[in-house]
Amino acid sequence: MKEDSFSIHSAAAQGFEKAPEFYESGRPDFPPPAITFLAKTLEMGSSARVLDLAAGTGKLTRCLVSLGVSVTAVEPVVGMRGKFSALLPGVPLLAGTAEAIPLASESVDVVLAATAFHWFDGEKALLEIHRVLKPGGRLGLLWNVRDDSAAWVDGMMRIVETYAGDAPRYKTFNWKKAFDRTVLFTSLQNQSFPFIQKGTLRTVLDRLRSVSFISALERGPQEKLLVQVEQLLESEYGIKPGAPLDIPYRTDIYWCFKK
């Protein structure tokens, strides 16, 4: 498939093209306990061939490489691929989407998608994932999710959500419908891992800048939103620029097996 024929949501296409630097500086890495659990559960030993689907800048890929896992990455957005290649020049990286994976049938043992499956056309993606997985193959999905039980996170997100439009979101769980309907995979199982990202107010704002529908905004509206968030966090919650900040997250992991 030619790159200009990739079909991805406009918010992802526009927003993530602009966001690689903020994606790196604002988004947390995946916590080691979650990655260790995932590797064990999906049997990702040194002999396993793993596909990181919609790999972004390679945050998950780097975790896998550190474990000695053989990884191939697929990513549709040019800007994300550029950052990925700069950070992980030795990892095979292909242009493609979840609905049109540029790999041979039954060629990988594990498919992973980090902070991504909610963007996919679920039924088409599951057909393609099923195709590239070997018999007995495993599928794992991960999301790093802000913990909005913290009052300041909840207050911030009440502002941010007004800009979301029709962008798909993990927390709606609409992405699960494809799994409810499929006969290609076993039922989803899940596990969560709470963790803290160490950062500052700048980390929080960079994380917002990496959100697809915020990154896609014109400069004026984007800056207005970021100023509104910064003022809220400083005036209502005492979060000062430059001061150390514990940013609460959890990693939600889902997995299933090819039938």
Q: Within a 10 A sphere around the Cβ of 19, how many other Cβ atoms?
A: 27
In this structure, is residue 79 part of a structural domain?
yes
The string of pLDDT tens digits covering residues 52-94 is 999 999 999 999 999 999 999 999 999 999 999 999 999 999 9
In this structure, is residue 121 part of a structural domain?
yes
- Into how many domains does the chain fold? 1
What gap in Å lies between CA 133 and CA 169, rounded to an integer?
A: 26
| Strands of the 189-199 sheet, one edge to the other | 93-94, 70-74, 49-53, 108-114, 133-146, 245-257, 189-199
pLDDT at 18: 80
Band of residue 2 on the pLDDT scale cut at 50, 70, 90: very low
Quote the longest CA-to-CA distance of the chain: 56
In this structure, is residue 236 part of a structural domain?
no
31-34 CB contacts, 8 Å cutoff, 24+ apart: 31/193, 31/195, 31/251, 32/63, 33/193, 33/195, 34/142, 34/193, 34/195, 34/251, 34/253
The string of pLDDT tens digits covering residues 188-236 is 999 999 999 999 999 999 999 999 999 999 999 999 999 999 999 999 9
The structure's pTM equals 0.93
CATH number for the domain spanning 189: value is: 3.40.50.150
**Domain, as residue range, for 57:** 3-146+166-196+248-257
What gap in Å lies between CA 98 and CA 111, rounded to an integer?
A: 10
DSSP 37-98: HHHHHTT--TT-EEEEET-TTSHHHHHHHHTT-EEEEE---HHHHHHHHHH-TTS-EE--BT
pLDDT at 14: 78
The string of pLDDT tens digits covering residues 155-170 is 999 999 999 999 999 9
In this structure, is residue 67 part of a structural domain?
yes
In this structure, is residue 130 part of a structural domain?
yes
Burial class (CB in 10 A: 0-12, 13-18, 19+), 203: middle
In this structure, is residue 213 part of a structural domain?
no
In this structure, is residue 210 part of a structural domain?
no
In this structure, is residue 208 part of a structural domain?
no
Cα angle 175-64-213, degrees, rounded to a multiple of 5: 40
